[in-house]
Amino acid sequence: MMLARIWAAAVAAGSLAAMAADPFAEGVRPTEPLTPEQQARTFHLPAGFEIQLVASEPQIYKPMNIAFDARGRLWVSDTLEYPFPAKPGTVGRDSIKILEDTNLDGVADKVTTFVDGLNIPIGLYPYKNGVIAWSIPNIWYFEDTDGDNKADKRTVLFGPLGWERDTHGNIASLRRGFDGWLYGTHGFNNESTFRGRDGSELRVQSGNVWRARVDGSRVEPHSFGQVNPFGLAFDEFGNLYSADCHSSPIYQLIRGAYYPSFGKPHDGLGFGPTLMQHSHGSTAIAGIIFYEDDLWPSEYTNNIFVGNVMTSRINRDVMTPFGTTLTAKEMPDFLSTDDPWFRPVDIRMGPEGAMYIADFYNRIIGHYEVSLTHPGRDRTRGRIWRVSYKQPPTPLPAFRDLTRLGVPGLFEEMNSRNSVRRSLALNELADRFGSGAREPLMRLMATDPDTNLTVNALWALHRAGGVPEELLNRVWKRPTPLFQTHVLRVLSETPKWSGMQQQMVFEGLNSLEPTVVRAAADAVAQHDVPEALPLLITTSTRLDARDTHLTHQLRIALRNQLRGTNAYQRLDINGLDENQSRAVANVSLGVANADAARFLLTHIRRFTEEPARVQQFLRHISTHLPVEESVALVDFVTRRFDKDLDLQLELFKALQEGLARRGAEMPEVARSWGERLTISLLGYAPNEGAGWRNLPVEGAPLSANPWRFETRRASDQQEGKYVTSYAAGAEHLTGTLRSAPFRIPAQLTFYIAGHDGVPENPAGKKNYVALRKSPEGTIVRTAPAPRNDVAQKVTWDLNDLAGQLGTLEVVDGDTGAAYAWIAISRIEPSMVRLPEVEPRLMQRRQIEAATLARTLKVTNAAPALNALLLGDSSEMEARAAAALALASFRPNENLSALAPLVGEASLGEETRRRIQLGLSQTNATASLDLVQEVFRTAPQRVQARLAESLASSPAGAETLLQLVERGDASQRVLGQAAIRDKITASKSEAIQQRFQKLVAGMPPALEEADKLIEERRKAFASAKPDIHKGRTIFSESCSVCHQVGGQGKVVGPQLDGIGNRGLERLLEDILDPNRNVDVNFRTTVVTMKDGEVVSGLTRREEGAALVIADAGGNESQVPLNQIAGREQTSTSLMPANFGEALTPEQFTDLLGYLLNLRN
């Protein structure tokens, strides 16, 4: 109640309006609701179109999905309950209504509640004398058996299905295909098991598209993945399109393909192709129409329309074909409005050629972006709108009630210019007459009817018992892509083929029409046809790769045939040429058996592949090749790539992953290879003589090593190798590349290129070359970046310093996204040699080698690891990796917790050095003293990091609690959610009780977070954020888990359009990430059998391994057989320390950047 009063007061005072100049940019719309009559005047449409209200509250409440029936009536599922389901034991208040326009003026003048007492109904499909619909927790058939337009019979077709995790990710978008199956979407986050009466079973988690028989007898997958599909549409060829949130607004779905979803892998073939790169400024897309009629101006034909509930628009894309692949070109929005409450959750074409829009009219639409309990959520208002073209070129005849038409009348409608009528007529004929329509259909087909009638009659015959072979062949011989495509689609649904039918399919694979080839490939993919293998391989090698959808469909077909028994034995493997072998190899990644592994090994022995592809092949081989055959694998890799340590490293890691997936022990031959590789990598130090070392730039954010090699031209026209900090998309990285001390010569020359900020601005003085006296470190000469891509010569007269010790530094301190790099080369005299290996590559080798030493327990690498840990030229990240490896050799909970801090720049150098020495000596008493020192002197962020590491083991947790009890560590470190989760996972009740006692007196975390949020909100109000700097901070701190504009990782939610959440919610999400955690992104705490506690975001299970991601976006595998227990917490993987990790200025810049990511 208090929150409601505060909200009402804020609205009354107009404070929200003051917060947002653009009301459409706010997750909570600051405007007041309009009446339907007022709202109707706010819409903007292209010339010639008009909009009218069909229905509104109180006739209907919140509309979810809409659909037309064979009588031309509009059905709508509406809700009062959403977003909270009706409580157990109570009757839901939701319903499905029928809207009728009895006087043909476009307005519903008769509204009938067909069925009530429902619980958040969404998807619906009018069927015979009722409707198939979703209502928690089932897909039902609600039937009217006595003709009074009221459901009096309820039958469960499928269920119970999942709804508990997310009420907006339920069953939706029910559409009937040509084939008579009912297609639908399964939404975000929920987990469901469909069971058909024939024993078929389909288990799905989060976004998927499925199909089922309308009587509930069978269920099948159609495609896998997508994040939250909501909207389906077919085109005249039978292609299925979906609207999706987060992954891509529109897909043309390929049967059997996998599409991106949070953390889920594909099937080995890669994800299904996209048809667009833009996102329409939103990740909230609902409803889709593929328009191919001729009732609107020609520029709208072959357009796709989608509802955009975040931007309150109907988006429009024109489809441009290349073979079977469509590319979406973004066009001006078809419909926009001045009313921010407009929320188009479903769009459908009507049987008279108009577009119908279900408007969930609401101040708030976001299910996660705004609290579900927010009092601003409207529960009762809802509208349905109708958009029509005023003067169609050739108007349609008036719609006739299809339920009153006989077979001839239905034939006429099956030939209509309106695709909705054609579909309704086909389904009415098939459902009402069934096999009784066969004779008239046969007579009709004998006349070679018009295009649309032929297609629909073909399917009607199929659904009435099957198409006679001679008639199917007759249609096949009418050589148009549309006819042949549908013949092949009918064959894809035909269980067993005759010789003639198989020949049609093979002719289709040889066709010059890409659409026909694709339909033939889909047909083959649904059958076991070993004879098709040679033809599929040949066809695959002649494709134009730009036709991505055809390519993917053929890969699925070939993969499915290779899954057959003894499929690889049927291949003349040594007779395959390189392209043919590669075609088989590429799809063998989707065949999970030993034969596929053996083929891949043969392929990489015979032909050369890119290293990244070899790595993928090797991962698959090691997952499925019998362990006893691994000798041949290791022998091949070490012989073929004996000179390439880096590639060997990647291939060994692939081998490790593959073995972990199957839960297999590493064979001795592979372990020996790994040990040799570790020693070789640690001992490979070609840069040692030059002594170059990358150091962090003082005052700049911590950064990955930016230094690499490139070829660049100098002012004297010479080209040469330069050490540079330039890399496309990574200019924000910073670093100081420092040489080893050397005797300063009388003169030093070199060439430098690079920039020091945007050219029109004054130089930032952040990128330069400096000479320092050693050991005091005084800068005695500098040369600024020349602000030129062409390297310029610099000459220093050093007579006054000759013979003294000095170091050369190349400094990139500019965090900008462009004009923020420097490069150096041709240093003379040669007493200062440039590195022989890229510094960043050298560092990576050291880190990877140390990691191998830790995972393989290569104890004889200890001397080299000690040298890396203590070496003057070692970089901090490499030292940290060496520290972790050494700690794993000598079990000591304190040292294990301290090891990651070796790379912590905020610790004093002396403290880091003492930790390094402690790790090299393993002194238990000294390690405890060091732990106490870190808690006394380190910043809160570092203390929290140490505390979480200690909490990961029983002994470490005991140490942590003792330190807090004695006052040697602050009580505040126990306030972290991550530490609480790990302590709670402990099996020791005594430890948990002590923990609870220690935190009992702490101020509530929510109060502290609220105080910080309010401080940052006030600071932001008067700040002038630098959006460019904010983008850099995002790239450095956030993109390891989040993606914007296709850049970054998809560990957490994609953040396109995140600015629409508004300032208040963004502050909460960043500063208190545990406040509003979607269940799909909650941390899982895994307790191992040895007592260690591991936490992270569960991504998936791969064979015998659980894959989890850490806060850095890095995935790791946990053997399932070593897990004692796991529990999903209520906390986020996102660190809760951004208030401390970023300076107030950096935080403001980041916030400004995120708020700018709007529509």
What are all long-range contacts of 695-699, with beta carbons under 8 Å and residues at least 24 apart?
Answer: 695/735, 695/736, 695/737, 695/738, 695/875, 696/734, 696/735, 696/736, 696/876, 696/905, 697/734, 697/735, 697/736, 697/811, 697/812, 697/813, 699/813
Helix (H), strand (E) counts: the chain: 34, 43
Indicate the CATH number of 693-836 among 2.50.20, 3.40.50, 2.60.120, 2.60.40.
Answer: 2.60.120
Alpha carbon distances (Å) from 126 to 62, 143, 152, 1032? 19, 10, 15, 52
Please write the tens of the pLDDT for every residue from 612-656.
899 899 889 988 999 888 888 899 999 988 888 888 898 898 888
On average, the pLDDT of the chain sits at 89
Strands (E), 482-628: none
Is the separation of the CB atoms in 827 and 727 below 8 Å?
Answer: no
In this predicted structure, the answer to whether residue 3 has a pLDDT above a threshold of 70 is no
What pLDDT, in 10s, does the model give residues 820-859? 999 999 999 987 888 888 888 888 888 999 999 999 999 9
Q: What is the pLDDT of residue 1079?
A: 65
Going by pLDDT thresholds of 50, 70 and 90, the confidence category of residue 10 is very low
pLDDT of residue 1132: 78
Tell me what pLDDT residue 690 has.
Answer: 56
What is the structure's pLDDT at 13?
A: 34
**Cross-strand pairs, 1118:** 1106
Instruction: Say if residue 687's pLDDT is above 70.
Output: no
- Per-residue pLDDT for 927 more than 80? no
Is the pLDDT higher at 918 or at 9? 918
Q: How confident is the model at residue 12 (pLDDT cuts 50, 70, 90)?
A: very low
State the average pLDDT over residues 99-106: 93
**Max Cα distance, the chain (Å):** 108
**pLDDT tens-digit map of 152-174:** 999 999 999 999 888 888 999 99
Q: What is the mean pLDDT of residues 561-576?
A: 94
Q: How many residues does the chain have?
A: 1159
Query: Looking up tokens 């060994």, which residue turns up?
Result: 652
The boundaries of every CATH 2.120.10.30 domain in the chain are 49-389
**pLDDT tens digits, 1076-1123:** 666 667 788 777 766 677 777 777 777 777 888 777 667 778 888 878
Class of domain 1007-1155: mainly beta
Q: What is the dihedral of CA 25, 31, 33, 38, to 10 degrees?
A: -90
pLDDT for 1159 beyond 50? yes
Euclidean distance between the first and final Cα of the chain, in Å? Answer: 33
| 849 within 8 A of 769, measured Cβ to Cβ | no
Nearest to 895 by CA among 867, 862, 926, 872: 926
In sequence order, the 6+-apart residues with CB closer than 8 A to the CB of 960 are: 947, 950, 951, 969, 973, 974, 979
* pLDDT greater at residue 1069 or residue 422: 422
* Closest listed residue to residue 820, CA positions, set 738, 723, 752, 727: 727
| Parts of the chain belonging to CATH 2.30.30.100 | 1007-1155
Answer whether 1151's CB lies under 8 Å from 1083's CB.
Answer: no
Of 766-770, 892-896, 1021-1025, 1155-1159, the range with the highest mean pLDDT is: 766-770
Q: Give the integer Cα–Cα distance in Å for 88 and 95.
A: 17
Lowest model confidence (mean pLDDT) among 184-188, 576-580, 725-729: 725-729
Torsion angle (degrees, nearest 10) of CA 530, 536, 538, 540: -150
Q: Tell me what the mean pLDDT of segment 987-1002 comes to.
A: 80
Mean pLDDT over 545-562 rounds to 98
Within 8 A by CB and 6+ apart from 688, the residues are 873
pLDDT of residue 898: 79
- pTM to 2 decimals? 0.81
- Per-residue pLDDT of 238-267, as tens digits, reads 999 999 987 789 999 999 999 998 878 899
The confidence score (pLDDT) of residue 2 equals 33
Please tell me the predicted confidence (pLDDT) of residue 1150.
Answer: 86
Mean pLDDT of 80-107: 95
Average the pLDDT over 349-370 and give the result: 93
Q: Output the CATH code of domain 49-389.
A: 2.120.10.30
Q: pLDDT grade, residue 871 (50/70/90)?
A: confident
Quick one: DSSP state of residue 696? P
> What pLDDT, in 10s, does the model give residues 400-448?
999 999 999 999 999 999 999 999 999 999 999 999 999 999 999 999 8
Q: Which residue is it, tokens 């399919």?
A: 505
Give ranges for CATH 2.60.120 in the chain: 693-836
Q: How confident is the model at residue 700 (pLDDT cuts 50, 70, 90)?
A: confident
Query: Residue 414 is encoded by which pair of tokens?
Result: 């099956």
Q: Residue 411: helix, strand or coil by DSSP?
A: helix
Average pLDDT value for residue range 178-201? 96
Mean pLDDT of 84-112: 95
